[in-house]
Structure 1
């Protein structure tokens, strides 16, 4: 067993994990094309709605982080209001979201590196590249988290800077006459279609709460973590709106432009080639590979801590709650996630011969739906816990209630009308995984040895 390394992470390192898991430049490279294929021109409107929903969803999560420091993230927060059984549903949904991100983003990483090597006339399939890089990411997640976060921050900082420079160049070259309100309008889309796009927009914000899993390792967690969540959402929201708008007008507000954007596997590199140079396009692609790399590490680190917390509570094999004696990381949980992710990538390629980008697309719907489940449960928990304990008055329940309604509609929009195969399997995979893991939790439940884990902080004046 053992405890994670207390007070080992500073503000900068906590920000690093949050930025890496959200992978803003990765989201702009992958999700804008997916959203365009759903909502046509209305891409930036979709992100704007996603921003508003994310801020609403974050209210309860921020409040919990002001009161508790834990490695269990939303899993533990759900327990405080809804009890242990509902917490398991939330915990397994959240773990599924991070795990599918590890699998999908690893696949894209392999494809991006394969494309980069192809530019140099070196042709290697994405799978061996993904496997090789996964081994490196495995080592970083296994070792001291301070090392992992520093690597993540440096890589993400470079990629965001290059994407922002590209956006500025696009704005300058298209000029005022090339600007349009179309990306901010609803166009000919139905509300159901916008709802489908919003789920993919929310996917871009997936992981904004990841620093909640660092509650036992961050200095002054009840102060730093809420600030990191608010600051990260705000900064990345601005980045998303700028970059998504620049991509739409960069490809052009025409049917052919929208079609090109929706079908592009490397839209940012395509735009860099068009508006700057092939050399800059190469730099952008290289930066995105670095961002993908840091995103996977961040998702492994977060997912492992959730799995560690579930095990420490006696809900899955106790070996998963072991802490490395030297690095103080949940190394068994890290190993479990990485081995399983590698096996899925190998099986996927063996059965389909599909590329890594396709693996991400298939995983994205499961990631989005499982995140929605976890976010709905934690908001419901917040309503119960904070009202019952008089931390919130009746009117303060409006925001989490709005959050739950918005997420329910977004989830429903991705179930009906039924999306095409294999995306239509996402609800069944999500619900099936959660049910199987809840049953497994009951079968492998073990006695809990008291640990120095979650800490509760009393807030003056019901803050």
Structure 2
């Protein structure tokens, strides 16, 4: 039985995957306008609250990574505290989050590049572009992980740098008289509007834990991965606060400015055109396109490793645990994800004739809700596992409890009052997918032997808690 390439990823390469999956420049390009539409100018305070919740959620995940090294990420961590049945629910929720990111971000990539080419008087629809680039991303995710991470790091680094330069120019040109505390206040927003915005804020941090799926491949993973998770959240949080504030200030804290920001499909490009030049706006759109590209690769790499882990445990057809002989990647799982993504993009276009950005917007709530499910399960698992094994005392458990409460309230506020179509379908899609895949897991379940089990399980003794 082949294994993933052990000790092959350095600190820089592990950081690259985290940065690519979180795709901070994509979040600033797509999610700020969504939050503005929900909660007006209170964008930066919403990101600040999302940072606090994310750090609370991450505490349990960081602790698990200090103890175990696995490719199963939150799926395996949930199993240690809550057992195999709960782990399957968590695993499928987490997989759905990564798959919908692959689907939505691939479509948004096609849409952005189509708009970019239009500025050069080259008119190509988003779907052909998305399908072609999906094939390129498929090849990169299929091949050696070292190659993929280097590509992702270079692309994300360029896009973040360009956006930070733009923010600096905006601050300089608006001057002190153009600054405002409004983005750091709630204004007249109701709690429900703030909670809806927080879901989008948390979506921007979605995937912060993805380095957990590299437990078999990272050097010194029990030290390296916790460091990467903490550092990535902190660094990207600063970037989000600066960039989101700059966008609100750039458009202006007025009803007209907020309306323009919420309606803009390319706010960073518009701001670059206004404050710098059309050429710089072109570069910003190109940078966001590159970030979208790297995000898809990272999500495929992470999602495929979750499928690999569930297959190793006997919960999916054993073919999904296949590892490429040369590249040491979960190539069967990669092929499965990318094939499904291509087919659904085509189906979406045939049924709706909508833009790729519409597919991203429609799938974003499913991504956010499924991530919330996975994060709640892993924090509940941490409470159970760390308490009964006397790893954390009662006071330390306050952090995961607070995280669960915050996520439950956020989820509830996005379920009631019932949001408009198609966002109202997100809970049904999330629950329906998990139920269907639990049935699939039951039907395809197969016996495993020691060689097929996730290597971390060979180190762990569950004792009476199995």
TM-score bucket (shorter structure):
over 0.9
Q: Which position in structure 1 is the counterpart of 2:217?
A: 217
Deviations 1:153-184 (A, max 9, x none): 00000000000000000000000000001001
Q: Which position in structure 1 is the counterpart of 2:152?
A: 152
Q: Contact 1:67 / 1:457 at 8 angstroms: preserved in 2?
A: no
Mapped pair 1:326 → 2:318: no
Deviations 1:10-36 (A, max 9, x none): 000000000000000000000000000
Deviations 1:302-350 (A, max 9, x none): 0000011011100011100000000000000000000000000000000
Alpha-carbon distance between aligned partners in 2 of 1:440 and 1:377, rounded to the nearest angstrom? 21
Q: Which position in structure 2 is the counterpart of 1:75?
A: 75
Q: How far apart are residue 272 of structure 1 and its match?
A: 0.1
Q: Which position in structure 1 is the counterpart of 2:105?
A: 105
Q: Which position in structure 1 is the counterpart of 2:354?
A: 354
Q: Contact 1:66 / 1:457 at 8 angstroms: preserved in 2?
A: no
TM-score using structure 1 length: 0.98
Alpha-carbon distance between aligned partners in 2 of 1:262 and 1:303, rounded to the nearest angstrom? 31
Which structure 2 residues correspond to residues 33-112 of structure 1 after superposition, within 5 A? 33-112=33-112
Alpha-carbon distance between aligned partners in 1 of 2:9 and 2:449, rounded to the nearest angstrom? 26
Mapped pair 1:265 → 2:265: yes
Q: Which position in structure 1 is the counterpart of 2:300?
A: 300
Q: Which position in structure 1 is the counterpart of 2:419?
A: 419
Q: What CA RMSD, in Å, does the superposition of the two structures yield over aligned residues?
A: 0.9
Q: How far apart are residue 187 of structure 1 and its match?
A: 0.5
Q: Contact 1:304 / 1:330 at 8 angstroms: preserved in 2?
A: yes
TM-score using structure 2 length: 0.97
Mapped pair 1:165 → 2:162: no
Alpha-carbon distance between aligned partners in 2 of 1:143 and 1:453, rounded to the nearest angstrom? 22
Alpha-carbon distance between aligned partners in 1 of 2:317 and 2:267, rounded to the nearest angstrom? 43
* Aligned residue-pair number: 458
Q: Contact 1:17 / 1:210 at 8 angstroms: preserved in 2?
A: yes
Q: Which position in structure 1 is the counterpart of 2:129?
A: 129
Q: How far apart are residue 457 of structure 1 and its match?
A: 8.5
Q: How far apart are residue 449 of structure 1 and its match?
A: 2.4
SS, match of residue 314 in structure 2: coil
Alpha-carbon distance between aligned partners in 2 of 1:270 and 1:356, rounded to the nearest angstrom? 19
Alpha-carbon distance between aligned partners in 2 of 1:150 and 1:249, rounded to the nearest angstrom? 34
Q: Which position in structure 1 is the counterpart of 2:408?
A: 408
Give runs of ≥4 in structure 1 deviating > 6 Å: none
Unaligned runs of 5+ in 1: 459-463
SS, match of residue 265 in structure 1: coil
Q: Which position in structure 1 is the counterpart of 2:228?
A: 228
SS, match of residue 395 in structure 2: helix
Deviations 1:374-401 (A, max 9, x none): 0000000000001111110011110000
Q: Which position in structure 2 is the counterpart of 1:242?
A: 242
